[in-house]
Amino acid sequence: MKYCTHCGKQVKEEAVVCTECGCQLDGKTTKKTSAKSSSDINSILIKVAPIIGLVLICMGALHMLTSLIYWIAEVAHYAFDGFTRLLGNGLLTYLRMPLIEIGLGLLLYLNNKK
């Protein structure tokens, strides 16, 4: 049995042109195999796989970077929030009067020195 070398369709032994695709037959009998199509798929995968890998690596790196930025922002938020609570409600509440008294005392001392 004879097969078209272009489209793989079965043709008559005496055919010179394929009736399906119109290509000229070279007279060789070849059988259509799925190995050719699987090799085409493999060659496509070999070309596309590195691109897909790079895209996935970039997506992972971008996610890691945004997570790091988010973590830094959260740490800064809690640190600033704790610092303002410490100064606003905690430490300065207890030190407000002594600091005012020390400041006034220094001003009075320096004023009397003149």
Both 22 and 46 in a single domain?
no
Domain match, 26 and 43 both: no
What sign does the dihedral 31-35-40-41 (CA atoms) show? positive
**pLDDT class for 86, splitting at 50, 70, 90?**
low
Asked if 42 and 17 sit in the same domain, the reply is no
How many domains is the chain built from? Answer: 2
User: 75: domain range?
Assistant: 33-113
45 and 28 both lie in a single domain = no
Q: What is the pLDDT of residues 41-69, one digit of tens each?
A: 888 888 888 898 899 999 999 999 898 89
15 and 37 in a single domain? The answer is no
83 and 107 in a single domain? The answer is yes
